[in-house]
Amino acid sequence: MPESDPIINQAFPLPVRSPWGEAWLRLMKNRMAIAGLVCFSAITLLCLLAPWVAPFDPNAQDLLKGPTPPGSSHWFGTDTLGRDLAARTLFGGRISIAVGFAATLVAMTIGVAWGAIAGYSGGWLDSVMMRIVDILYSLPFMIFVILLMTIFERSLLLLFVAIGCVEWLTLSRIVRGQMLQLKTMPYIDAARALGVRRVRLIIRHIIPNLLGPVIIYSTLTVPSVMLLESSLSFLGLGVQPPDSSWGSLINDGAEKMISYPWLLVFPSIFFSLTLFSLNFLGDGLRDALDPKSNSA
C-alpha cells in the first residue's frame, strides 16, 4: 500500500483541540447509531444476566419432547434434543459476545502497540514492521486459524487468541498512520521543546488522539470477529458441544430451517441485531469524529 493511505487520512483527520463534546453531539443526531448503542447494550445485558433470566438449563435434554415450536413454556421453542432454545440463545450470546470482545481486545493490544511503535520510531524499524504487516496481510488467515485450532487442544482461550492474532493487522496500519500525522503536529514538537518527558508525552498527548480511530475501528472489529467465529463453527471448529455460541446455533438452524424454522430465526435475530447495532454504532462514531461531514 502506498505510504500515505488516502482513506485513513481523509476519514480520521486530526482535531486541533479535543472536540469530544462536539463529536458526542453529532453522534446523538444519528438516530441509527444511538439505536444501535441501546440495542447492543440491551442484548449484552440480557446475555450477561442469562443464568438468572433463562427459564431452563441450556443443556438439559428432553429426548422425548424433541423439537417443538415456540409456545407458552418454551418461548423460543426447543431443539432436536429437547433443549430450550431461549436459554441456549442467551447462554450462547455470552460466549459469542465474549469472543467478540476478547478477540478484539487481543487484536487491539497487538495492533496498537505495533502501529504505535512503528509510527513513532520511523525509519528502518517502521519499514521493517510494516513490511511484516504487508507479508502477513498476504496470507490467507483462515488457514492459520484452522491449523492453530486443529493442532492445539480446543478451548475458548485458543479461540480468542487465534481470532485476535488475525484481526490486528489493519488496526496497526491505522494506528501507524495516525502516529505519522501526530509526529508532525506542531504542538507535539512544542511539548518536546518544552522538555516534556517521553512517557508523559505519550500518555497526555498521543494516546488521547489515537483513541478516536482505535475506538471506531474496534467497534467495527467486533462484528467481524463474531462472523469469523461463526465461520469456524461452520467448519466444525468453534465451541465444543454441548456449549453453544450464536454461530453454532445458527449453523444448526440453517441446516434444519425448512423443518424447524424457529431454530434459525431466534438466534439469527439476536446475532444480526447485535451486528447491525455495532456496525451502525461504528459508522456513527466515524461520522461523528469527522468535522467535514455534510450535515455539520
* Out of 44, 68, 181, 268, the residue judged to bind another protein by CB under 8 A: 268
Name the residue nearer to another protein (CB basis): 40 or 206: 40
Residues 226-245 that bind another protein (CB under 8 A): 227, 230-231, 234-236, 240-242
Stretch 136-155 residues interacting with another protein (CB under 8 A): 137-140, 142-144, 146-147, 150-151, 154
Q: Which residue has the cell 445458527?
A: 250
Selection from 77, 121, 111, 128 nearest residue 262 by Cα: 77
Q: Does 5 bind another protein (CB under 8 A)?
A: yes
Among 89, 96, 221, 279, binds another protein (CB under 8 A): 279
Residues sharing a CB contact under 8 Å with residue 274, sequence separation 6 or more, in sequence order: 39, 40, 43, 93, 96, 97, 223, 226, 246
Task: Give backbone dihedrals phi and psi of 131, rounded to 5 degrees, phi first.
Answer: -65, -40
**260 touching another protein, by CB under 8 A:** yes
- Crossing angle of helices 207-234 and 262-288, in 10° steps, is 160
Question: At closest approach, how far in Å is the CB of 9 from another protein?
Answer: 10
The three three-digit cell numbers of residue 208, written as one number: 488521547
For residue 7, CA distances in Å to 4, 10, 101, 215 come to 9, 5, 26, 17
Of 17, 63, 124, 157, the one binding another protein (CB under 8 A) is 63
Window 82-121: contact mask with another protein (x via CB under 8 A):
----------------------------------------
Which of 64, 193, 194, 199 binds another protein (CB under 8 A)? It is 64
